[in-house]
């Protein structure tokens, strides 16, 4: 099948990593079009997936944008629609991976008469999107999409609640290659030595540094715990959120955690870093569409705790594959941390069970088969 994939970002995020996995089976015949250049293009090229950067200037529309902001980017949008429409005529299907990609893909689908698939990886709620952007996404998907793939039941429910047509939607969880998470324990040991973490109970947080990702919640929790409990924060600000990073450093100082919190920035050695942890924490204060880091932690056979909201509830079975705590509740999170700290054998047993479950439920091979079957139905109707 010849597919024209569209993504708005040149930067690497969960949506982009997942699109790379979806595109791999089609790399001989597909093309991934990006609306910005960056490390995402490099990753696609490393995986021998054809990629082309279309935009020369950014589309200045954010998740919080209103109608006036959107109108200000008309020139960029029209230029992209023309380019994508021309390219689409050489492909059988347009596959939009992000909201801006949906906007361009919807009009290109109409003009090129090619079917459109929208892979929705965001929760369309006021926590994440302005009312204008929610209306735009739902209206275009309802009118032009032949299929809306959602990455969780929570994402599907939010789409329908915003006015989306349920009959268009199918839930397909993100897929992973379990073998990529099987590395020697020596690699993790070297990480702990290099970072000076020997003898510490290490909690890892893997996410961009952003207020809604809730790193401050983890810091508040650790301040309530023994001094040999240490935190590594892997990630950095992405979308103009540098002020939050400053606030985190200030919080570390105020809570007396300077020797216990390590800001590592963006790293490529995620698996060894996860393996070096005693616990992985997911602390988003708003509902997460999926929670990629949770499955990665499970595949690394590391205990994981996540906020009880959004798609995370679908990933963790409390007491069996991990733990859940109410969003923003640092006291409850501290209690879970202490339980893992005091009962390491129980935590390891839960992590082992979680790895078995995750390997079965989120195997990339199975997920890509599900997507292929859904795409084939478009041409049978």
Same domain, 256 and 217: yes
Domain hosting 77: range is: 3-175+363-378
Residues whose CB falls within 8 Å of the CB of residue 85, separated by 6 or more in sequence, listed in order: 107, 108, 111, 112
The pTM is what?
A: 0.91
CATH code for position 67: 3.40.50.2000
Same domain, 126 and 150: yes
Question: Which pLDDT value is given to residue 129?
Answer: 87
Same domain, 185 and 93: no
Same domain, 156 and 300: no
DSSP 119-141: EE-S--STTTS-HHHHHHHHHHH
Query: 175 phi and psi, to 5 degrees?
Result: -105, 155
| Residue 37, H or E segment | none
Same domain, 124 and 184: no
Question: Which pLDDT value is given to residue 63?
Answer: 54
CB 130 within 8 A of CB 65: yes
Same domain, 149 and 182: no
Same domain, 221 and 244: yes
Question: Which pLDDT value is given to residue 184?
Answer: 86
Sheet containing strand 31-34, edge to edge, reads 51-53, 31-34, 3-7, 93-96, 116-120, 145-150, 169-171
Domain total of the chain: 2
Same domain, 168 and 186: no
Same domain, 21 and 167: yes
Same domain, 166 and 222: no
DSSP 362: T
Same domain, 340 and 191: yes
Same domain, 115 and 188: no
For the stretch 177-191, what's the b/e string if a residue is b when 16 or more beta carbons lie within 10 angstroms of its beta carbon? ebeebeeeeeebeeb
Instruction: Chunk the chain into consecutive blocks of 10 residues (it has 381) and report each block's average pLDDT, rounded to whole numbers.
Output: 94 92 96 95 97 76 48 75 96 96 96 98 89 92 98 97 97 97 88 93 96 97 97 90 95 96 94 96 96 97 97 97 97 98 97 97 96 91 56
Question: Which pLDDT value is given to residue 13?
Answer: 87
Outline where 51-152 has alpha helix (H): 67-71, 74-88, 99-112, 131-144
Give dist(CA 267, CA 120) in Å, integer. 26
């Amino acid at each position: 099948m010849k597919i024209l994939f569209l993504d708005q970002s040149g930067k690497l995020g969960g949506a982009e990593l997942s699109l790379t996995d979806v595109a791999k089976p089609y790399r001989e015949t597909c093309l991934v079009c990006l609306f910005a250049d960056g490390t995402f293009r490099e990753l696609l090229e490393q995986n021998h997936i054809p990629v082309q950067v279309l935009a020369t200037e950014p589309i200045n529309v954010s998740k919080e944008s209103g109608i006036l902001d959107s109108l200000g980017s008309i020139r960029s949008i029209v230029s992209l629609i023309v380019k994508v429409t021309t390219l689409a005529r050489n492909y059988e299907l347009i596959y939009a991976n992000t909201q801006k990609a949906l906007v361009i893909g919807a009009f290109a689908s109409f003009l090129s008469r090619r079917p459109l698939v929208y892979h929705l990886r965001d929760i369309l709620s006021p926590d994440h999107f302005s009312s204008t952007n929610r209306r735009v996404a739902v209206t275009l998907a309802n009118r032009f999409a032949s299929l809306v793939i959602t990455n969780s039941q929570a994402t599907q429910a939010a789409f329908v609640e915003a006015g989306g047509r349920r009959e268009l939607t199918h839930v397909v969880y993100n897929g992973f290659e379990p073998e990529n998470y099987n590395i020697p324990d020596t690699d993790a040991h070297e990480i702990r030595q290099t970072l000076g973490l020997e003898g510490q109970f290490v909690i890892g947080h893997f996410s961009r540094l952003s207020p809604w990702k809730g790193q401050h919640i983890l810091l508040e929790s650790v301040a309530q715990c023994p001094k040999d409990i240490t935190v590594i924060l892997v990630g950095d600000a992405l979308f103009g959120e540098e002020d939050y990073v400053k606030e985190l450093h200030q919080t570390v100082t105020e809570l007396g955690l300077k020797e216990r919190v390590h800001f590592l920035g963006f790293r490529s050695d995620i698996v060894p870093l996860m393996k070096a942890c005693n616990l992985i924490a997911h602390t988003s204060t708003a509902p997460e569409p999926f929670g990629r880091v949770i499955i990665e932690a499970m595949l690394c056979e590391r205990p994981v705790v996540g906020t009880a909201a959004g798609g995370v509830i679908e990933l963790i079975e409390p007491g069996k594959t991990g733990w859940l705590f109410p969003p923003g509740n640092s006291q409850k999170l501290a209690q879970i941390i202490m339980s893992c700290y005091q009962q390491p054998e129980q935590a390891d047993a839960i992590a082992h069970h979680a790895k078995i479950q995750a390997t079965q439920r989120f195997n990339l091979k199975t997920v890509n088969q599900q997507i292929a079957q859904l795409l084939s139905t478009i041409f049978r109707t």
